[in-house]
Structure 1
Amino acid sequence: RAVQRTVRQLGARKLPTTRTAVIFEPRMTGQLLAFLASCVNGMAVYRQRSCLAGKLGQKGGGENIHVGDDALRPRGLGSRPFDSEGVATRRLDVVRAGVLNSYLLNAYSARRLGLKTTGHASGQGVSVHNFYLEPGDLSPEEIIRSTERGLLLTRTIGHGTNPTTGELSKGAYGLWIEGGEIAYPVAEITIAGNLLELLSRVDAIGNDLEFRSPIAGPTIRVQDVTVGGR
């Protein structure tokens, strides 16, 4: 896979700065979900270091966005019957139809927020179990074919995320799409945006969800993303 990713980038071009559709490969969706997980972490929320503090019951994405955390998933990498405080775990709807339903809480963060623990204690903090975006019905190939013009995001570099504001900015590599087909590789670009805005602009979700880590997502397409270039 690493060799394939390298070969795909041979002869990469630069892009002018633009706003365009961006297709996130599953690994890239996983990175976006990891950012979301840091924002629903109860320790960050009660310290007011999350853009989602005070936003339970409010919109945090489009109506097609359903994010769960399932501690009881069979053979899940993060599955466990109890958290580190002995609280029984369960499947939790974190975001349902774009609405923020729950934070991830241990006993301490729950008490500070006036809520009940969700069974996410890990050591002295909070962690996910099996955190994922529910898949859709489209194959990755169908998503690409239905994209007239855009970027297939294959790799990012750097750690340009700010949970307090929800802003992200990362160096990126990918493949440019024209007329529903891969045209050429691109490099030395930057992907920038706000987490909640990106989640509200997802207009296609793939059927290719695979759990290769405790945080997983399928291919998604996000409209109107800022791609910085030359």
Structure 2
Amino acid sequence: MSSEIDSSTLLSRASQLIDLARKAGADAADAVVVRSRSQSVSVRLGKVEGTESSESDDFSLRVFIGKRVASVSANPGFDLQALAERAVAMAKVSPEDPFACLADEASLAKSYPDLQLLDTTEVSSEMLREAGLAAEAAALAVKGVTNSSGAGASAGMGGLVLATSHGFEGSYMASRFGHSVSVIAGEGTGMERDYDFDSRLYYAELDDPADIGRRAGERVIKRINPRQVPTGKDVTVIFDPRVARGFVAHIAGAINGAAVARKSSFLRDRMGQQVLKSGLSITDDPLIVRGPSSRPFDGEGVSGERMVMIEDGVLKHWFLSTSTARELGLQTNGRGVRGGTAVSPSSTNLALEPGDITPEELIRSVGNGFYVTELIGHGVNMITGEYSRGATGFWIENGELTFPVSEVTIASNLKDMFMRLTPANDIDRKFGVAAPTFAIEGMTLAGR
């Protein structure tokens, strides 16, 4: 991976773009460069299957004329004046958008902290290859593992360069390193697959590839010879942290201001009301030093702060960008994210805060139930909250994990699931969405 690249040239070009847009007739404008550098190696059965390397600096210019807005994108090497004139010409014929605007000048970051997001460690393709091979070899060495779906390693960095017509200029970069492996156990129709991975901002903090491989192998052999279980209508389901993180992402989607404005969230009318069990909180913090999804400012130049989105079970905030906030009659809270030429709200370092008991104690308290390790399909309706997913995992009997389970479906409504959620204390905050193991009572399980 290349060492940190000076962003001053890109900031200068972004500022030039804005000046040219203003001269061409724009009332206001901002220019952003999304930076990306990455390399990866994939291996399978001891041989390299592929290597990839990419670099890009993608420019976007957004211009405003009255209540009209237009955006254009380009790669490096474009003609600055032609792009600016094109954007202004597009804005002049665009329909009016009463909510599109730059962030208020008063809300812009005047300074921002060094969050230590960039590790400039040089990682060669040979180092990536060796890591992938080591992870796969360790997984295949686990007794009962019969094949490999492949392993890989990656290194990269990405970041943002932003300039606005009302004075903001800023940039940041963040690194990302990863190791992963996927293996198979069993034969024929009885084959099962599982995986393990690690992803970090700092290379030295990555789990050892051999440990990742061993864990993947141990996970998959536990899944051999799964059974179906009888259908039940009042089953306690425990979510492994892997699937718990995805579930918390559903909560984030339901409290996203854009979904609320579109009336596509089942929580759109619940502000100030209890939506989780008392005692539970959801936090979001963009300013965690070395946080996996930290950022010193958002895609509009606004600094975010740590927020308790749901406090003691009560919904307190939406995720808001400037335009979404205006549509809802509110103020942005620095959660705007650039997606192509658009800005939309999103979470940063999101966490379902942990409870007080261990996962083992939580499992024992259930008695009989279902421990989910993987979910299948996309059966979640964010408008109604209806939830139905295929699932695999382990049956809980007398407070212990007993035999593997597959080909079942778990179902409920997210409104009810939120109110019946009990978290353990094993949260791992190395992911952008963090969640402990948790149990949800009263779910329907469709089996044999």
Same fold, judged at TM 0.5 (above):
yes
Match for 1:135 among 336, 354, 367? Answer: 354
- Aligned position for 1:30: 245
- Aligned position for 1:226: 444
| Distance in 2 of aligned mates of 1:51 and 1:33 | 15
Q: What is the Cα deviation at residue 143 of structure 1?
A: 1.1
- Aligned position for 2:18: none
| Distance in 1 of aligned mates of 2:401 and 2:424 | 18
Match for 1:211 among 419, 426, 429? Answer: 429
CA deviation profile, 1:79-106 (whole Å, cap 9, x unmatched): 1121111111111111111111111000
Q: What is the Cα deviation at residue 64 of structure 1?
A: 2.6
| Distance in 2 of aligned mates of 1:64 and 1:226 | 25
- Aligned position for 2:195: none
| Percent of residue pairs bearing the same amino acid type | 42
Does structure 1 conserve the Cα–Cα contact (< 8 Å) formed by 2:304 and 2:334?
Answer: yes
Q: What is the Cα deviation at residue 160 of structure 1?
A: 1.3
Structure 1 gap ranges (5+): none
Q: Which structure has greater helix proportion?
A: 2
CA RMSD of aligned residues (A): 1.2
| Distance in 2 of aligned mates of 1:110 and 1:55 | 17
- Aligned position for 1:146: 365
Letter of the structure 1 residue corresponding to residue 394 of structure 2: L
Letter of the structure 2 residue corresponding to residue 216 of structure 1: A
Letter of the structure 1 residue corresponding to residue 390 of structure 2: G
| Distance in 2 of aligned mates of 1:212 and 1:195 | 26
Equivalent pairs counted in the alignment come to 229
Match for 1:109 among 311, 324, 327? Answer: 324
Q: Secondary structure at the match of 1:5?
A: helix
Higher relative contact order (CA 8 A, sep 6+): 1
Please tell me whether residue 3 in structure 1 is matched to residue 217 in structure 2: yes
Does structure 1 conserve the Cα–Cα contact (< 8 Å) formed by 2:291 and 2:430?
Answer: no
Match for 2:276 among 61, 71, 74? Answer: 61
What is the TM-score of this pair, normalised by structure 2? 0.50
**Bigger Rg, structure 1 or 2:** 2
- Aligned position for 2:260: 45
| Distance in 2 of aligned mates of 1:4 and 1:159 | 27
What is the TM-score of this pair, normalised by structure 1? 0.96
CA deviation profile, 1:31-54 (whole Å, cap 9, x unmatched): 111111111111111010111112
| Distance in 2 of aligned mates of 1:85 and 1:188 | 45
| Distance in 2 of aligned mates of 1:205 and 1:7 | 27
CA deviation profile, 1:147-183 (whole Å, cap 9, x unmatched): 2111111110111111111111111001101111112
Q: Secondary structure at the match of 2:440?
A: strand
| Distance in 2 of aligned mates of 1:171 and 1:2 | 21
| Distance in 2 of aligned mates of 1:2 and 1:169 | 27
Please tell me whether residue 93 in structure 1 is matched to residue 308 in structure 2: yes
CA deviation profile, 1:173-223 (whole Å, cap 9, x unmatched): 011011111121110001111112111012x32111112421110011111
